[in-house]
Amino acid sequence: MGEEMNQEMTEFKSFEIGDVVTGKVSKVEEKHASVDVGFKIDGVLPISELSSLHVEKVSDVLSEGDEIEVKVIKVSEDELVLSKKAVEADKAWDALQEKYENSVAFDVEIADVVKGGLVVDLGVRGFIPASLVERHYVEDFSDYKGKNLSVKIVEFDPEKAKVILSHRAVLEQEADHKKQETLASLQAGQVVEGTVQRLTDFGAFVDIGGVDGLVHISQMAHHRVETPSEVVSEGQQVNVKILSVDRDNERISLSIKETLPGPWEEVKGSLNTGDEIEGTVKRLVSFGAFVEVAPGVEGLVHISEISNKHIGTPQEVLSEGETVRVKVLDVNLDEKRISLSIKVLETEQVSNEVEEYQKESDGNSPFSLGDMIGDQLKKYK
């Protein structure tokens, strides 16, 4: 009998700490599982040795009959303690080391959302800090649990069991790749669509496919622009013309003005001989005054057409920035010339006043219209 028992005993396997073996789950308790690995007693797999992540109860991970690979972490005549987590970690570190050294991007599933970031199971615990999840600020990460993200390892220290991951690094690499493709494809003279990213005192930065170009304030409109916000707003879609591309320094000069109809084209059909309009005196010269009658469109009031009274210089009766009413004498849009008159309107105003006077006097005035206009005009000489 004794010999039979000894023979039976020799059939049991012997183990040392560090041995990796395959066993079958024989029993599942709330905080541990029993595993038959061929030892004289079943080994104990504590809940803390199940996974690199937190486990609420063993039955969430294991069922009776499951075949699992475990590592021996403690052994004696009457005790065998096993770890599933240690086996997974051993396998994981080598693979992660290779991914880290080669800066490889790989997909992970978010296992949990914790304070400060996201947790993933890599065979070891991996952590994505909140600032390394997206390129933009995220207020609430609650819907990230269970989501798949492509990540890179940015910090790796097996001794401290530290694996820091970044999804943002993958996004930035993709954005840089797209940027380089865009830079290579852009040519001066192209008209493309873009999105206004931000405004500055000197212009607007516009995204034209992963790369920002600058629309200088002088290229925003045909008329003078004081601040870019007069013309565009952040997030607005705009057409821009590429003026120049500096690929080495990643600088692109753009123009909104070049995509717009010229100011002289815009007044075609809306400005005609005989029109009475309001304008702004822009420049005074010895021979007259240039008056802006539409954004970027100036006409000339010759000195002889400024006033009915004799003047030596336009400055005697006009000042730059002043608003005046003018009459269009002639329009030549092809040659970008408009002749204007202030004097004609003054004369017409006097004529209208005299006509009104005559109507009110029922024709009993002893003066003719010519006489009265002549008397009025003497005031301007």
The pLDDT tens digits of the residues spanning 1-44 come to 444 444 444 456 788 898 999 999 999 998 999 999 988 889 99
Query: What's the rounded mean pLDDT across residues 300-322?
Result: 93
**How high is the pLDDT of residue 10?**
44
In this predicted model, what pLDDT tens digit does every residue of 59-74 receive, in sequence order?
988 999 999 999 999 9
Confidence of residue 203 (pLDDT cuts 50, 70, 90): very high
CA trace torsion 380, 284, 221, 262 (10° rounding): 70
Q: Which of 102-106, 254-258, 377-381 has the lowest mean pLDDT?
A: 377-381
Domain boundaries, the chain: 19-87, 103-171, 190-259, 261-381
Give the residue among 126, 176, 180, 175 at the shortest CA–CA distance from 151.
126
Give me the half-sphere count of Cα atoms (radius 13 Å) on the Cβ side of residue 247: 10
For the residues 162-191, what does the mean pLDDT come to? 92
Is the per-residue pLDDT at 110 higher than 90?
Answer: yes
State the average pLDDT over residues 300-313. Answer: 93
DSSP 262: P
Which CATH architecture is the domain 19-87 placed in?
A: Beta Barrel (2.40)
pLDDT of residue 295: 82
If pLDDT is split at 50, 70 and 90, which confidence band does 321 have? very high
| Nearest of 267, 254, 188, 261 to residue 222 by alpha carbon | 261
More confident residue, 354 or 1: 354
Distance, CA of 262 to CA of 241 (rounded, Å): 14
Residue 362 has pLDDT above 80, yes or no: no
Please give the pLDDT value at position 12. Answer: 65
pLDDT on residue 352:
64
343 vs 306: CA distance, rounded Å? 5
Higher pLDDT, residue 366 or 112: 112
The mean pLDDT of the chain is 87
The yes-or-no verdict on residue 47 having pLDDT over 80 is yes
Mean pLDDT of 249-267: 89
Matching CATH number, 103-171, of 1.20.1260.10, 1.20.1560.10, 2.40.50.140, 2.60.120.200: 2.40.50.140
Contact criterion met (CB below 8 Å) for 220 and 233? no
Model pLDDT, residue 124: 86
Inform me whether the pLDDT recorded for 366 exceeds 80.
Answer: no
> What CATH superfamily is the domain 261-381?
Nucleic acid-binding proteins (2.40.50.140)
Amino acid 4: pLDDT? 44
Would you identify the CATH topology of the domain 190-259?
Answer: OB fold (Dihydrolipoamide Acetyltransferase, E2P) (2.40.50)
